[in-house]
Structure 1
Amino acid sequence: MNRNPHLLPLLAALLGVGFLSLMDAFMKAAALAAGAYSASVMRSAFGTAMIAPVWLLRGGRWPKMPVLRIHLLRGTVSAFMALSFFYALTKLPIAEAIAISFVAPLIALYLAFVLLGEQIKRKAVIASLLGFAGTLVIIGGRLGRVESDIETLKGLAAILFSATLYAWNFIIIRQQAQVSSPEEATTFHSGVALIVLGLFAPWFFAMPSPGALFDIAMGAALTVCGAMAITWAYARAEAQVLVPIEYSGFLWASLFGWLFFSEMVTPTTLLGTVLIVGGCWIATRSDPVPPMTQPE
């Protein structure tokens, strides 16, 4: 029987990306209403309150210093990654912001080689380049209609900064997943981000309205679910196998954009989607086992 050992991790990663894409829709509404900083702080607060009791009830203990350092690093990187992304969402359409952020998996593929020593397989390179080409088609079809004013340029700068941190976050997740449970990783992911962002609260925080708080609470719940699913996946498969799945985020964004914002799918979006799905299909194929001609 031909089994794909990466199937379950791939499905978990796909589901995790879906959760996080839906979170983006809720958080854009919250960021527009309350500001990107206040929305980010409250999301981390809600997320910590949701996942910390689960971690403690499952016997969670304070991690040792080497593991704690990884938690602190990921939480700090994630805090500014999320803040810059939510700020970009207030300046750019959600689908365009997500499409531009797809440069992160391509960067992460090679960071995994440099930082983790993972061997880059040929099909992983082809898959990532194919997926990246799909995002370029989508960006070319959509950004041509956006006026290049100062606010748009701010959004582009923010999303590119966020994408760089996102690529680094891929590598940290891979390291973190090897030494901690999904509950522990997710607890510290939200908790550390809350502490880091909270340092600036005296100058920038304003309590969101009840409607914005609801959107933030939904975003926090989806963040917890997405983070746990992705952490579980990265503990069971290499980064180069899971990275192309990140491109499915645009498919999720197209769905949620249509459901929540009545965004229509353009021909360039369809073409880009075909390229992205093709890249994911190449990455998830199992390598055939060559027959042995002699006993070894």
Structure 2
Amino acid sequence: MAASPDRPSVLLPVLAVVAGIAAFSVMDAAMKAASLALGVGTALLLRNVMGTLLTVPLWVAAGRPVPTRRIALLHLQRSVVTAVMAALFFHGLVRIPMAEGMAISFFAPIVALYFAALLLGETIRPRAVVAALLGLAGMVVIGADRFGAGAYGPEAVEGTAAIVLSAVFYALNLVLQRKQALLAGPVEIALFQNLNVALLFLAFAPLYWTAPDATSLAWTLMGACLATIALLFLSWGYARAEAQVLVPVEYTGFLWAALMGWLVFGEALGPAVVAGAALIVLGCWIGTRKR
């Protein structure tokens, strides 16, 4: 009798995280379409400006939390990492299929183990080495399939390299997120991250600005709304269940990415991408499990 009340308490956070990952995956598709039309810089600038406008009412409703100087510096540090990460990810995503890009990006949690050792003083255990080798094997499988089919031209090589580098910055972002979550609430983090990233892209806007049309604005607005919805779902879910329960749910993003790539861009999903993704996910599971 005591077990039944616990089931909904675990199920609802899991469903919330599934919904959040789905929203992020659809957002990736919307931002890929916007980036193809406007360029990555303009699309990300507009998305973060819209995201800032969407989160201001949430910030006001939360009591207008203002960070101290120390926390504001941490917000800025993570925003710089996030800006580079997003620019690299979407630069790569416009050059390779979504499912392939998502599979490669799964390498980030493995890299995060090493950043945690470097920045937080955590010990690198043998399983972290095994995880890294499996992750590298997964990326080799994905790349070898394209090379063997003669489908890896200069654009695809550039796209793959960009997403691998993006995964490194995402790993650093995960470590900074751990520190940030201890010092600030999700609404404050969302507002100042959107605002800081928008200002960073605005500083370089003269180098890449492209005037948007109605269609590209619609894609960008969809991306901003979905990113905000995803943040709310994920924040709610992670506040109510252990990370070790919810982290495996992150890998449902591969299924959503494959579906959106097929529906929106007509991208086919090959068996080598599935096999490579499975190796990377296995490496993440080995590297991040407690025992």
Both structures adopt the same fold (TM-score exceeding 0.5): yes
Contact kept? 1:177, 1:231, Cα under 8 Å: no
Shift of 1:184: 0.8
Of stretches 233-242 and 203-212 in structure 1, the one that deviates more from structure 2 is: 233-242
Distance in 1, matches of 2:126 and 2:231, equals 28
The two structures have a TM-score, normalised by structure 1, of 0.80
Q: 1:123 to 1:248 in 2, by over 3 A?
A: farther
Q: 1:93 to 1:225 in 2, by over 3 A?
A: same
Structure 1 counterpart of 2:169, from 165, 168, 190: 165
Distance in 1, matches of 2:260 and 2:88, equals 21
Q: Give the structure 2 partner of residue 255 of structure 1.
A: 259
User: Among the aligned pairs, what percent are the same residue?
Assistant: 44
Structure 2 counterpart of 1:84, from 84, 88, 91: 88
Distance in 1, matches of 2:267 and 2:15, equals 26
Distance in 2, matches of 1:143 and 1:245, equals 31
Shift of 1:110: 2.5
Q: Give the structure 2 partner of residue 28 of structure 1.
A: 32
Please give the root-mean-square deviation of Cα atoms over the aligned residues, in Å: 3.6
Is 1:193 equivalent to 2:197 in the alignment? yes
Is 1:114 equivalent to 2:140 in the alignment? no
Distance in 2, matches of 1:159 and 1:255, equals 19
Q: 1:256 to 1:146 in 2, by over 3 A?
A: farther
Contact kept? 2:108, 2:171, Cα under 8 Å: yes
Of stretches 199-208 and 108-117 in structure 1, the one that deviates more from structure 2 is: 108-117
Q: Give the structure 1 partner of residue 225 of structure 2.
A: 221
Distance in 2, matches of 1:11 and 1:114, equals 34
Of stretches 154-163 and 273-282 in structure 1, the one that deviates more from structure 2 is: 273-282
Q: Unaligned 5+ residue runs, structure 1?
A: 288-296
The two structures have a TM-score, normalised by structure 2, of 0.81
Q: Give the structure 2 partner of residue 52 of structure 1.
A: 56
Is 1:73 equivalent to 2:67 in the alignment? no
Q: Give the structure 1 partner of residue 182 of structure 2.
A: 178
SS at match of 1:92: coil
Contact kept? 1:171, 1:239, Cα under 8 Å: no
Please give the per-residue CA displacement for 1:170-214, whole angstroms capped at 9, x wherever unaligned: 111111111111111111111100011100122321221110111
Q: 1:267 to 1:286 in 2, by over 3 A?
A: same
Q: Unaligned 5+ residue runs, structure 2?
A: none
Contact kept? 1:17, 1:226, Cα under 8 Å: yes
Please give the per-residue CA displacement for 1:253-287, whole angstroms capped at 9, x wherever unaligned: 11222332333433334444555666677789897
Structure 2 counterpart of 1:39, from 43, 53, 58: 43
Contact kept? 1:244, 1:279, Cα under 8 Å: no
Q: 1:69 to 1:169 in 2, by over 3 A?
A: same
Distance in 2, matches of 1:125 and 1:28, equals 33
Q: How many residues align?
A: 287
Q: 1:22 to 1:139 in 2, by over 3 A?
A: farther
- AA in 1 matched with 2:200: V
Q: Give the structure 2 partner of residue 265 of structure 1.
A: 269
SS at match of 2:96: coil
Q: 1:8 to 1:67 in 2, by over 3 A?
A: farther
Please give the per-residue CA displacement for 1:71-117, whole angstroms capped at 9, x wherever unaligned: 11111111121112111122222222222222212101222233234
